Amino acid sequence: MKPIIIAFAALAGLAAPALAQDYNGSPNFGEVHLQAGFTPDPHLTSLRAGGSIDAATRFNQCQGYITNAPDVRLHWSGSSSLSLKISAQASADVTLVVNGPNGQWYCDDDSGEGTNPSLTLKPEAGRYEIWVGTYSSGETQRAILSISELESF
């Protein structure tokens, strides 16, 4: 599946459900502060993917079950000509939902290796809220969230 980009303006037309996701909530697995050229690259965070909220009911064309608060909040600074790659690896099929500092929502299912999700973004300074979802409500799976500027790792 190709990554899906959802403009914030499009979310406004979805009314309250789309805006109900608590991107200001305390992240389940912490906050990460990175800047262009960071090392070690990739930055890895272990987490439990999944939740009870169906992302498809909150964001058009997103998939998976996520929590209300983000799993990880990334604070990005600096400028770079490199892309920012946010991906997750798990033994189960997981998904990604990302709220960028520009107000856009990004979703992916299988753009990474196998059934792993991966998003490649032009980095902008600011906050990124990141959710890793599963395909069954309430199910959690061990996963590794990867943040990288490298083409492959």
Report pLDDT for 15.
33
Report pLDDT for 152.
56
Residues 65 and 141: beta-carbon distance below 8 Å: no
What is the domain partition of the chain in residue ranges? 4-148
d(CA 27, CA 22): 10
Report pLDDT for 138.
87
- What percent of the chain has a predicted confidence (pLDDT) above 90? 73
Residues in the chain, total:
153
Q: Which fold has domain 4-148?
A: Jelly Rolls (2.60.120)
- This prediction has a pTM of 0.85
Sorted by sequence, the CB contacts under 8 Å of residue 42 that are 6+ apart come out as: 85, 146, 147, 148, 150, 153
Report pLDDT for 10.
37
